[in-house]
Chains A and B, each alone.
Chain A
């Protein structure tokens, strides 16, 4: 029972991190149809920026702020400098995914070249664990869960209670129509990348806060669970991603109770494959053809 509670606790924290990251990913993919596979390595890069901040004794807040800021700025620049020019030139979807892979290779290996392949830890004071009945969370973990909830509420508010959010949803559904209605789609897309990048940066910092030690590959591999969540929830559906994050986060950690712990990652892998093969539109989305998942 104790193991179960512990796994449940881990599951909730994992779900929180996944939620932050996948909502960012799916918002951007929904609006632009570009598979930004470099999302994971951008998380790693943000984590390393946070690391530099803690090494400079800027503490937890410094780490979070600089990590999130880096994620935001980097993602917007990535789109403007790399993805957008290719799209404007009429690159086909499969070329774009190779571009994304190339960017991933670049980011994760530049990090490795600069910092080496060994493991790093954020220089932060350890925090006490707080108990809720049988569940125990550290202050950082609670913070992450709090941030996740806050981020979800903000995203919801943004999408449904602001003009910008409306413009984002319109651009995601039908870019040409949105443009014809006078929506400045290029600027809206910049904002989409900025929001996505902000969540990416936050997710990256959260990830290394929880895993305590990380290396240049950490975030890069995280893209697969993010993809699994995004696909499970329905591409482009932020609420689906939130739901999917809970499902996959919990399943991944709880699976360690029944299968060998090395295979935990396989939960996300297998979910991704199974969902894409059986119900590519995800559990929430009803409209597969509109999002062109099916050829």
Chain B
């Protein structure tokens, strides 16, 4: 599991790559929660994530909750694949914006970027 974080034009883009299984999600907690607490407009790109466990799902929801509590917003970028099925199945996509690409994420974050 790899993570990269970059700030461009007021938006923080977090790119996750690989299998976001329970072990990986435990390792991603600190970096993702830190971004969620410190940044306002956050795009978490799951386009290169091939697997998402329930614990990873909780990690993303916790990030969105932290961002929201600080007046920020977290948007997920996720094409329509198996990972998106997990998000839908748990109702996460009803609570966090899930968009298909970076352009749509920028539009969703425009108001606070």
A binds B: no
Interface positions of B (Cβ within 8 A of A): none
Interface residues of A (CB under 8 A from B): none
